[in-house]
Amino acid sequence: MEVTLNHYLLIGAVMFVSGVVCMATKRNGIAVLMGVELVLNGANINFVAFARYTNLGLDGQIVSLFVIVLAAAEAAVALAIALNFYNNHQTIDVDQGDRLRG
Amino acid sequence: MIPTLANTAANTAANTAANTATTIQSTLEGWELSEGWAMFLAAVIHVSLVAGFFGLPAGIFIWAERKVSGRIQDRLGPTRVGGKFGWLQAIADGGKLIQKEDLVPAAADGPLFRVAPYVVVVSSLAALMFLPFSDGWIAVSLDIGLYLMLAVMSLEVIGVILAGYSSGSKWALFGGMREAAQMVSYEIPMSICVVIPIITAGSLNLNEIGAMQSGWAANWILFNDPFTFIAFFIYFVCATASCKRAPFDLAEAESELVAGFLTEYSGFRWSFFFLAEYASMFAVCGIAVLLFLGGWHTGIPGLDTAITGLRDPSGSWVFGWLANLLGFGVFFGKAGLLVCVQIWVRWTLPRLRIDQVMMTCLKYLVPISCVLFLGAVIWPLALSFTGHTTWGSPTGNRAAPAMRLESDSGASVPSAMPSRPLPLAASNSNEEAGR
Amino acid sequence: MTEQTLFFIFAILAGGGAIGVVILQDIVRMAFSLIISLGSTAGLFFLLGADFVAATQLLVYVGGTLVLLIFGVMLTASGPFRRIKMSSGETLLGAAVGLLFFSVIAFTVLGVNWQAVPSHREVATTQSDQAGNTSRAIGLRLVGIPADNEIGVRKGGGSRTGYLLPFEIVSVHLLVVLIGAAYLARAKRHESRDATEGDA
């Protein structure tokens, strides 16, 4: 059984959906960040799979390089925000961040 | 279309006369195995060879460390095990460590505590897979070999953090975090200093870079321009720091943090950490030798031609293997010399505090390596106004192929280089028109 | 056959790691599961012939971003192995939504006839007889030269303007981000709780 584009797209989908569920259901702020990383990786797998199996070519791989770099930048800022949240609320539980609730 | 493993000397110019290079995989295929099985078996053989080699640097350098440290401290070091010089001390140590009790602290996170040494060992072992030990003796020959080697070595940080965290003790946690911060920070100047000889050589393939430095020792990339010369020393400092060696050894500093992230590890797990440390010391010194010091070439053309002359296609394959073994001996000797320098530095210089360690990296080494990088890039550009891009003509295989502005018939281009000049490489269009 | 075996090993590790991140409750074990997942993604990239991207994934993502995440975990943990529990109703709802979402994506993916999409022409590989030898080609693409005889390139196609401008923008972006993150995460004087309580 040959490995086709569908297989890689399904793996990308598994990672993407896991990331979305992680973002939606976890209460730990860092866990939400992990969900974001999973989402970006699912998209990366899709990009590189299309680069390999269709005529997208190396553009797909270059885009995935940019995605990796931008994900690193975004993780840095998100972590700084999470640290600030922790310093202000003494907990990382994002459900406790409801001071502005109307 | 997976990358083929076990590529050997087919790409080096040294073998252009008669391409007798074979790979283990093609030999197995010659014995009527299917391609998939041949690839799998070749991979197993390569991994076994590298794993068998893995304990060798540790065995030799542990003994060397104890002897050298003893002599520096005006004592003898081990003298009992295995004769007058204590050759087998490392084996005796290994035996002692294996039979120690397997302790896991009660407050430790069990699975993570057990997994952490293996993460460190795997990253060290995998780094050795991309290192060419001689001309063509490389487990996995990739065009991005050096890049992948740095990437795999950077996974050691994960093992250190896991070890520190899962030990369940505050000494271990602090030691692990400091150690991880140090290792991650020193990757930056190390990577910049690694890029500098790559710019000169024009390839990330360690086999090619090693093959390029044949001929006289003046051909080594170390002597190419003053920037690569200084880059070698900066790289050596960063490599020492990334291996957690003194004077950057906050992790193992008994007087500072008990033993840092190794506090709760004893017996065989502790020995795994040290196997990995000595193997990665050897790996970074091996990179330094390949990038700066000429790899497996002796630097004396007479000796080199004698060695490669053994690789006579009409003779039996034993001589080719012997030539490679001699090259391996040269490589191991050079890398071993650099490791001995690391040992020497450890027992000579006092330890740096963690804030001094971070300050050295961020305030001194990063700006210095950036300036060196800039200089190494501008050097051929500045020289091109005089009509050459190198100071003097490189002999042997050394040339930055895309930047050669004069036609030297002497130097031959390694066959894996693009055979036509890349259009953006020639900064002088008149030279381009003249070719 | 080797490719299928390797694909399944890496796919199971990647997918299993991803699902493990969702299922596990201890934050450090979630981080470790994420490390396994992203490392296996790098393996998948190798299988897809993207050597440079895979090495970048290992170096930047696993060796950099995840270390950053783990530092964040250590700095915000309020005690060893503390867990923030989820109620079982939430768990069930999350699982149901996840399965539904995945089935929508899978249905869409499997419904497209990928054979109709033009695949890359079987062009000659480079002189090094390895698939995935993409670093030189990527470098040339960055400056806008779609190198011929490279893998996966339409002959004469590709972006002629290159990717240098996005590259420079990303470099400046990284600089700004790191300065901003360092500023945000600086050690501040801890305000007393009476001042912050106010009339909350």
Whole-Å CA distances, A39 to A9, B211, B234, C35, C55: 13, 43, 39, 14, 20
Least confident of A12-21, B140-149, C30-39: B140-149
Question: pTM, whole model, 2 decimals?
Answer: 0.84
- Nearest by Cα to B214 from B391, B9, B8, B398: B398
A94 close contact with C: CB closer than 8 A: no
Check CB contact of A82 with chain C, cutoff 8 Å.
yes
Distance of alpha carbon C66 from alpha carbon B384, whole angstroms: 43
In the chain, the amino acid numbered B220 is W
Q: Is the pLDDT of residue B11 over 60?
A: no
User: Is C36 in CB contact (< 8 Å) with chain B?
Assistant: no
Collapsed DSSP state (helix, strand, coil) of residue B311: coil
Is some CB atom of chain C closer than 8 A to the CB atom of A93? yes
Which A-chain residues 45-64 have CB contacts (< 8 A) with chain C? 45, 48-49, 51-59, 61-62, 64
Query: pLDDT tens across B358-367, in order?
Result: 999 999 999 9
Q: Which of B273, B71, B62 is nearest to B176 (CA)?
A: B273
Neighbour tally for B286: CB within 10 Å: 27
| Helix axis angle, C27-47 to A29-53, nearest 10° | 10
Question: Which residues 6+ apart lie within 8 Å of B247 measured at CB?
Answer: B345, B346, B349, B350, B351, B352
- Name the residue among C53, C93, C153 with its Cβ closest to that of A57: C153
**Among A17, A49, A64, whose Cβ lies nearest the Cβ of C98?**
A17
- Do residues B256 and B250 touch, judged by C-beta distance below 8 A? yes
Contact C128 B416 (CB under 8 A): yes
Chain C residues whose beta carbon lies within 8 Å of the beta carbon of residue B144: 51-52, 55, 135
C58/B152 Cβ within 8 A = yes
pLDDT band at B268 (very low <50, low <70, confident <90, very high): confident
C16 CB neighbour count, 10 Å cutoff: 17
d(CA B157, CA B178): 11
Q: Comparing A76-85, B312-321, B425-434, C82-91, which segment has the lowest mean pLDDT? A: B425-434
* pLDDT score of B29 more than 80: no
| Number of C-beta neighbours around residue B340 at 10 A | 15
Place of tokens 């057990």: B114
The whole-angstrom separation of Cα B361 and Cα C69 is 22
The chains in contact with chain B, meaning 3 or more Cβ pairs closer than 8 Å, are C
Q: Which of residues 114-143 of C touch A (CB under 8 A)?
A: 114, 117-121, 134, 137-138, 141-142
Say if residue C153's pLDDT is above 50.
no
Does the pLDDT at position C150 exceed 50?
A: no
Nearby residues of C17 by Cβ (< 8 Å), 6 or more positions away: C33, C34, C35, C36, C37, C38, C40
pLDDT of residue B428: 35
Compute the average pLDDT of residues B123-136. Answer: 88
Angle at B219 between CA B392 and CA B412, to 5 degrees: 85
In angstroms, what CA-CA distances link C70 with A75, B158, B279? 11, 9, 26
DSSP codes joined into one string, B60-117: HHHHHHHHHHHHHTTS----STTTTTTTTHHHHHHHHHHTS-----TTS-HHHHHHHH
Tokens of C70: 């783990």
Q: Quote the CA–CA distance of B279 and B59 in Å, as a whole number.
A: 10
Q: Do C63 and B151 touch (CB under 8 A)?
A: yes
Q: Looking at residue C146, what DSSP letter applies?
A: -
**In contact, C141 and A62? CB cutoff 8 Å:** yes
| The most confident of A40-44, B105-109, B341-345, by mean pLDDT | A40-44
Mean pLDDT of B84-112: 83
| Min Cα separation B203/chain C (Å) | 9
Average pLDDT, chain C: 80
Nearest CA in chain C to A38: C18
pLDDT of A76 over the 60 cut: yes
Residue B178 CA to residue B261 CA, distance in Å, equals 9
Token pair, residue A74, equals 């975004």
Calculate how close chain B gets to C13, using CA atoms only, in Å: 16
Q: What is the pLDDT of residues C17-59, one digit of tens each?
A: 999 999 988 888 899 999 999 999 999 999 988 889 999 999 9
Q: Do C132 and B3 make contact, defined as CB atoms within 8 angstroms?
A: yes
How distant is the alpha carbon of residue B221 from its chain centre?
Answer: 16
- The Cα of C91 is separated from the nearest Cα of chain A by a number of Å equal to 8
Contacts for C189 with CB less than 8 Å, ≥ 6 apart:
none
Task: Work out the burial of residue A36: count CB atoms within 10 Å of its CB; fewer than 13 is exposed, 13-18 middle, 19 or more buried.
Answer: middle
User: What sign results for the dihedral spanned by CA atoms C167, C173, C176, C179?
Assistant: negative
Cα–Cα distance, B191 to B369 (Å, whole number): 9
User: What tokens does C167 get?
Assistant: 């590259």
The answer to whether the beta carbons of residues C28 and C73 sit under 8 Å apart is yes
C1 touching chain B per CB within 8 A = yes
Of A13, A21, A93, the CB nearest to C105: A13
pLDDT tens-place string over residues B277-288: 899 999 999 999
Of the candidate ranges A72-86, B178-192, C147-161, the one whose mean pLDDT is the lowest? C147-161
Count CA within 13 A, CB hemisphere, residue B347. Answer: 16
Return the closest-CA partner of residue B193 out of B338, B364, B335, B369.
Answer: B369
CB-nearest to A30 from C15, C72, C78 is C72
- Measure the CA–CA gap between B202 and B219, rounded to whole angstroms: 15
CA distances from B317 to B141, B307, B312, C183 (A): 22, 14, 8, 63
**Residues in chain C closer than 8 A to A77 (CB atoms):** 177, 180-181, 184
Size of interface A-C (CB pairs under 8 A): 242
CA–CA min distance C112, chain B (Å)? 24
